[in-house]
A and B are shown apart, each in its own frame.
Chain A
């Protein structure tokens, strides 16, 4: 009896053949899902037709119809332009929020592992307080209780040391101002940066050849400062600081920070930092204890131990959960809609209340958030892969 004939003779009938069943089952499930999607699509089309709402995405070119606070946006500009402004405003929250929550989180995470009982207690109180209360409650507290409910009218604004103005109309902070020669100065500074990198590379080589301490960061920074300083003098102060000054109800100079933005960002940062702190603590604890003990045996200081031994290894463990926290802070920035800061969700809710087709508007909103999510996961994956490669 040959192998082939035995396999055909024992082959089960079609309705009991695992291979056939597998494919039939998959096709049936796929067909059901597609049918469901098609059914929903048909319903949407039919409903839009009945309510006489447009069935395409033409509403994006319609005028937006209202102002955007703190932005030179005109109501006659299109909905799509408004979404772009909102997108930029969301980016402003993330750009400040991600670095800030990382730094605070690292400090709190290390504090929770401190040998000092009170520092440890402070870390625990911070983490347990912030992460067990919803972020939206923190946003409400920061905005309604601390900022808009507490800040004085513009006429009797707080002006600590005369360098900032705090009022319920906005927070005015010192900022920079560009002069006429800014472009050549920036080019010079860019060249300075390049030279600094080269100097750092040279120091690294010296270190490798002779074993002298390389101090490449100090050397590089020094080079950059010298070049930029020369440029600054040559081009006649292209950058200068401005300090806000209040004249009655008017504030001149400095940068205006919307209090909704301030409340939102502070609340998001403090809340997310508590999660980051737990990640940092877990990652540090996951670094084998022998590493710390070896560092102690080499008489490294506490700072050196963290900077050169523990944190670089912990960082590798941290990246995936950190990336998911960065995604969370991005997604949570949508809660700005509750305090009236003009980011994409707020733009969406205005659009949705102005009789735009609701389904398409939501699709646009989700699409915009997906760009953030995909962007962050992409960057995190690249970093993750590079670090993993270096370690093996």
Chain B
């Protein structure tokens, strides 16, 4: 008997697939274009002086906003995200609610506008007020709003002149590092996004991803001359200033933010990566003494960029910079437009791809799905973190193997996608990604990302890996710089896959909090005629049970002693279903999901039942337990 499972059965797995197959093939309508994309981008001209010794930034900014919204505007909100690093901010309160106790230095940041005016409108500082649209915390101060004395008419342009002063948060663990490496992220007053007919300017919270508008940046950063700067945009020149300071000039177009990192001992290593737009300069900055991981970072950056370019579309910017600031500086990895920050630990063995490979790939995913597509990550984080996690799992599997992409040691291994799935099952029932403040509801970033990755992997297994890749490519092509939403994504996938019935699936996965869990409750295989024994054949019965409340069609496979196999499908309706066979051979095992397609299943261990128990795995783990217990006891005995 062929070992291949009839692929026709796979088609049965999707809801409504029979109807889809029977219906005449109609050309699917094209997905809707993004809602009212801005035709002209705001422009920022920033001149900032950075004092490394105090970690302060003093700057002036000219913000030019063309009103292409189609309506007059009176109020203008600005992000002041560095104020999140104050003890009174909502961000700090969230940290404390989650049990974190941030160091004093980590909450020493801040940003204040000392002057603001608009050409033709006069001084606006008296109208400046802090607003908290998300949680009404009056002390948050991460969003400030000014009011013009008269509305800015549609089609007109306003130029704001702003003077600001920042205190950069010093979140690093090491005093020496805090005094050496400088990070400027969300550091200048930035306008909110006018989207779907209104301003969207969320507070800086842990419970949601950023949502930024695109703009053109011309930035002058003045630092001591020894400093090397890596940033969003591209450096267009540098000049020495009076007093010995050095000004670096950068330009970037259609950037969601302008971030920078500077240190006096950055070593630069770069190479060109060719793509359809002519090429991307891959630039890796690592500090002296940390250069050992630089080659590893550059290698994974190149390989991952190649996969993203091939699968999802060309990177539109001419340069991407990866900064390794050393240990103890970052809270995980970070991603900003054209700028990544990842540390490559020197001691990490080659067989462990969790750091830095998986992190670099994930941050590149964020470049594509968050910084370039730019959905509202604050309200639909699954479109940013979730898609980045899914693309991470696929790219990592492609580069390092499906089941070895995270760990590939002699005695232990795991795949990136498998680990993401495990992260998602850690908190079942918290799976709704459409609510704001999802993180406060008990979820976590890894849980959300993991569940999205598992859900898309499941969809990919069912509609085909190529179709899924094509759908993502099309989604990126359509909504690059377009602020898409979940409906745009769903529409694109439905259109590319040719299926019109994915909404129910997405409703359960994205909007619902249901748990998907199917179990083989029992398996019996007894002689049909006890008098004749085995010669009379066997009656085999399998009882399946839907443990969770997530309903989904499932395939069941039963293996027999003569090597034969039988399959059946269950649409998931009801709580249980029994299947029976009368065959000559005795059953050996029964299992659901033999294709390993239902990656959202919350328990893989109850998906199968083997008649003859095999205690090897249990004894192996018990042996580990005994060994650990003995070692622990001997260590304790050494203390007494």
- Do the two shown chains form a genuine complex with each other? no
